[in-house]
Amino acid sequence: MTKIIRSPALALYVLSPLIGEFFLGDFPVVLLPLIVVLAPWYGAGALLIREVARRRGRGWPTIALLALAWALVGEGLLGQSLFNPGYANAHLLDHGFLPVLGLGATWTVFVLAIHVAFSICLPIAIVELGMDEPHRPLLRRRGILACTALLLVGAVVTFSTAYRTWGHFVAPWPRLAATALIAVALVVLALRVPPRRPDGARPPAPGIILGLFLACGAALLGGVRLPTAAALVTMTAGIVVAVIALARWAPSPQWTDRHRLAVITAGLLTYGWSAPIRMWGHTPADHVLALVSGALYLAAEIAIVLRLRRTLRRRAAA
């Protein structure tokens, strides 16, 4: 554990699947060993996305666009949850189904948003806030090659697992081709986004940032459970407000580590309250496991926040 904490690259490799699948509430704590299977796609993906962005001198817009491309490949081409009506036996496409596109609008907005915000951006933000040089590269040439190989292994595992588990489904080739083209376009756009100048508006106090992003998280995680029209409006509002707030305030010289910690805390606490709901199940045993898992995940999230606070205090005192 100490080695993971002291190695930013290893921490990011572990945090991405831990937050993206377990803290989300898709898996209870007894299935934590699955992190070994999930890490090649999640962890290597997060590392490569960050490495590409930081080595090119790019910022969060590039990271977010690359994360969106990664999420689109994962959910559209590999797991194919965007198109598979039998995925997870959860009727994901029933809400806001668009026959021409073959996808459910509610699920598409939700799953792509959580992957960008929580599976990729949040772990990167956590790791970088804990670093004295937050924008320095984490990987050497061999590390990049190893992560690329791991990402390919993760892609094969993701596709084969979904194919075997959820009805041997393969989406029609036009939808797969369109998904691939959009993902490529996102990558090209991400690499063309220029670095932002430090000229944003003065941000409000960190406490206000915390409250604002908790509200945005609630709109996304809670909104998905509403009827289709209300869900889309609520989730989109949460996403738009968060993006505008970050675009307006994050480039400012007055945007400090305390503001960054506020955003991170909001993200972790959002998953903290929502995870037990996602794991609730149907039997008393399911309820107990959901509560125990949720409590342990919340404790881990609080521990991450407290460790970052100690890091900021040490840095301020130096």
Q: What is the mean pLDDT of residues 226-234?
A: 98
pLDDT above 70: percentage of residues in the chain: 98
The mean per-residue pLDDT over the stretch 239-249 comes to 98
Taking residues 199-219, what's their average pLDDT? 97
Domain boundary assignment for the chain: 2-317
Question: According to the model, what pLDDT value does residue 5 have?
Answer: 57
Q: What is the mean predicted confidence (pLDDT) over 27-42?
A: 98
> Distance between terminal CA atoms of the chain?
26
User: How many angstroms separate the CA atoms of 287 and 95, rounded?
Assistant: 26
User: CA-CA distances (angstroms) from residue 82 to 34, 102, 106, 270?
Assistant: 23, 8, 10, 24
pLDDT over 70 at 141, yes or no: yes
- Tens of pLDDT, residues 56-113: 999 999 999 999 999 999 999 999 999 999 999 999 999 999 999 999 999 999 999 9
234 pLDDT above the threshold of 60: yes
- Asked whether residue 41 carries a pLDDT value surpassing 50, the answer given is yes
Q: Is 57 helix (H, G, I), strand (E, B) or coil?
A: coil
> Tell me: the pLDDT tens digits for 255-303?
999 999 999 999 999 999 999 999 999 999 999 999 999 999 999 999 9
Residue 94: count of CB within 10 angstroms of its CB: 12
Q: H helices of the chain, where?
A: 2-6, 8-17, 35-55, 60-72, 105-114, 122-129, 141-165, 173-192, 206-223, 228-249, 257-278, 284-317
Alpha-carbon gap, residue 217 to 224, rounded angstroms = 11
pLDDT bin (cut points 50, 70, 90) of residue 318 is confident
Whether the predicted pLDDT of 128 surpasses 90? yes
What whole-number distance in Å separates Cα of residue 211 and Cα of residue 266? 8
Q: pLDDT grade, residue 198 (50/70/90)?
A: confident
Q: What is the mean pLDDT of residues 180-204?
A: 93
Asked if the model's pLDDT at residue 2 lies above 60, the reply is no
Cβ(188)–Cβ(66) below 8 Å: no
- DSSP single-letter state for residue 97: E
If you average pLDDT over residues 151-166, what whole number do you get? 98
